[in-house]
Amino acid sequence: MLSHAYTLATWHVVKREVEASRTDLHISLDHTITTTIVKFVTMLVPP
């Protein structure tokens, strides 16, 4: 459950950073960060 809380906290920070930078790259940046987090969390959390 600790990893889940960590994921939520990380996503909250990332989301705030993404929303703070209102650029034309907003969509692609959001997608890239989300994909990176998903891959990272997948490696940390056992199946």
Which tens digit of pLDDT belongs to each residue from 1-47?
Answer: 678 888 888 888 888 877 766 665 667 777 888 899 889 888 887 76
The whole-number pLDDT of residue 22 equals 62
The C-alpha torsion from 37 through 43 and 46 to 47, rounded to 10°, is: 80
Residues 6+ apart with CB under 8 A from 30: 18
Residues 6+ apart with CB under 8 A from 3: 41, 44, 45
> pTM of the prediction?
0.37
In the chain, the largest separation of any two C-alpha atoms, in whole Å, equals: 36
**DSSP secondary structure code for residue 18 in this structure:** H
The whole-number pLDDT of residue 36 equals 92
Whether 32 contacts 6, CB under 8 Å: no
